Structure 1
């Protein structure tokens, strides 16, 4: 009997141990399932079902981007090409009108007007479209020279131009007589780009009336020059002697300029030489000393105005003036430059010249013309 109890006890013990292992396995499985469903320390819940859902969402988003890519690109292109609301459109910059075209047209018109006469009124058609009858004989007057003195835009596209013409008249036998410089003012309308107006695409010009002869501009007296010391034409003055030698070489080409110029100065003589001889008739400079018998220290600068009488190849004398800058070196004066214009005193301005009595010779002939309508202010 005792031998039968021991196997039973052993079998019972094995069953208990097996049931304990089964319980532990069930507990472990439940804990794994519970841990998968419950949030971890970071607060996130992870489960197989949830992970599968996230993967499907990611795949769907990628495919949505792939499919919508061309559509988004097209929308971006259209939005970039369409101006944004509220952004001001660039306004084209207005080009200022140039006076060159109207001035040249007026000069041509005055020259044609002076030469035209009865029966040749059509010669003025390219410049003036109004009807007119000229009483002067054609060719009675000519402009040997002409130039524009003033050009002013009085209205957009409308110019007032003053032309100076050196007029010569011819009598019935063709003998010329110079009348001198006369001044004519003309109104010129310009159209197209050259006139600075919006009308038309091609530049064009037209005179609004025949020229009006006007008075000469006011004569002026120049401001004070900076050369206050008169040296005369004395060859005893070293600066005058340098100027004489330099100008002789410059105008006649008989000697080299290098012997009279400062090192590094680049000057060339006139070629071919226009004169055979040069004589100094006067010289002024801005030195303070009354006499310049001795050359001052090296580097001293002297501004000089020299008047010369140059004799051309035919033996005719010609008066000329030259503004020079001299610089001292090694006990002698050298020419540093031929100045562009005589030096004037600081704050010096021209003044009105005293009036002179002149006799004005009226231009022969007369003309009647139907006035053209003046340009409107609009």
Structure 2
């Protein structure tokens, strides 16, 4: 058998066309697809594989449907833990309202007298009969010194009053400080001294009786201060001189504070308007246990002072004052770093109770004068 030489058609110029062998096309050559411009190759075999994968995926989803449904059911029936919500903390009751009401009540009570009992009606609604003459007693000053909530909304308040009496001739005599305790009921929010936790409720106050005069609080003796050394008042001591210059500028405004303060003491400002025209240091104590320091120690060294001064006011009165200062060494001189909030207490030194000897009787000289 003789094979004829394959003849190519003139139009067979592109890849992928079939080759004619004795008038038959080679299908294996024609089966090759032309490359897709996107870069993906497409063929009947490739499409057949994708179809099988899709079919398998569909059956997997169908088969897993009941399983997924059971899982969702059990997940939804699982108990969800409750979210813990912190309990609301009741607001603390404030003594400010009852204390202020009690102070006004005591002042009105001291002024009232026979025939003016109605002046107490805004404070106390009970029956009142007074025997003292109206205006025979007055409180020139008063302040609350103790306030305690005896039960919710009910307060025990102690008021200190500087009492002056006037005789029939109109001569006034100062009796000194006396103490009065009153019971005050409060309504409204806890911030007003009441029991309601709502801020919208109106506050109200009422005294439950006339005031009761009581004894003065227990007197105590303060603990020892930390200033162990007496430095006198001479400006020959650099620390005393620094304190004197600072307090003169602070109280009289005659010079700038910056001359006497450390660089980080910008919060210190002179008093304005100026209250005094002159300042004299009368004594200085400090917490340095050694002898007086005529030379300034190393930078950063601190010294705590208690400085007593006599300040002369605008009309010539000399007013005695005490200042607790902290000084810091820098560049061979002392500078004021701060005016302390209170004199320093020696470590471990506690106050002690002393017998109270004041007697607030009818004699004016039995009570020492007290300034508020």
Task: Settle same-fold status: TM greater than 0.5.
Answer: yes
Per-residue CA shift, 1:325-356, capped at 9, x if unaligned? 11111211111111111111123221113443
Q: Matches of 1:314 and 1:96 in 2, distance apart?
A: 48
- Residue 240 of structure 1: how far off its partner (Å): 0.4
Per-residue CA shift, 1:143-194, capped at 9, x if unaligned? 1111111110111111100001111111123222111111000011112323
Equivalent position of 2:313 in the other structure: 312
Alignment length, in residue pairs?
Answer: 286
Asked whether 1:182 is paired with 2:178, we answer yes
Asked whether 1:145 is paired with 2:141, we answer yes
Asked whether 1:221 is paired with 2:221, we answer yes
Larger helix share, 1 or 2: 1
- Return the TM-score normalized by structure 2: 0.71
Q: Which has the larger radius of gyration?
A: 1
Q: Which moved more, 1:264-273 or 1:116-125?
A: 264-273
> 8 Å contact 2:178–2:360 — kept in the other structure?
no
Q: Matches of 2:295 and 2:207 in 1, distance apart?
A: 65
Match runs of 1:11-160 below 5 Å: 93-160=89-156
Cα RMSD of the aligned pairs, angstroms, is: 2.9
> 8 Å contact 1:191–1:203 — kept in the other structure?
yes
Equivalent position of 2:342 in the other structure: 341
Equivalent position of 1:331 in the other structure: 332
- Residue 197 of structure 1: how far off its partner (Å): 2.7
What stretches of structure 2 of length at least 5 have no aligned partner?
1-54, 56-61, 63-79, 365-372
Q: Matches of 2:275 and 2:83 in 1, distance apart?
A: 68
- Residue 226 of structure 1: how far off its partner (Å): 0.8
Distance of aligned partners of 1:136 and 1:272 in 2 relative to their CA distance in 1, 3 Å threshold: same
Per-residue CA shift, 1:74-125, capped at 9, x if unaligned? xxxxxxxxxx9x9999865433322111111111111110011111111111
Equivalent position of 1:287 in the other structure: 288
Per-residue CA shift, 1:192-245, capped at 9, x if unaligned? 323433599432111111000000101111111110011011222110011111
SS of the residue 1:131 aligns to: coil
What stretches of structure 1 of length at least 5 have no aligned partner?
1-43, 45-53, 55-83, 364-378
SS of the residue 2:232 aligns to: coil
Equivalent position of 2:194 in the other structure: 196
> 8 Å contact 2:175–2:360 — kept in the other structure?
no
Distance of aligned partners of 1:127 and 1:359 in 2 relative to their CA distance in 1, 3 Å threshold: closer
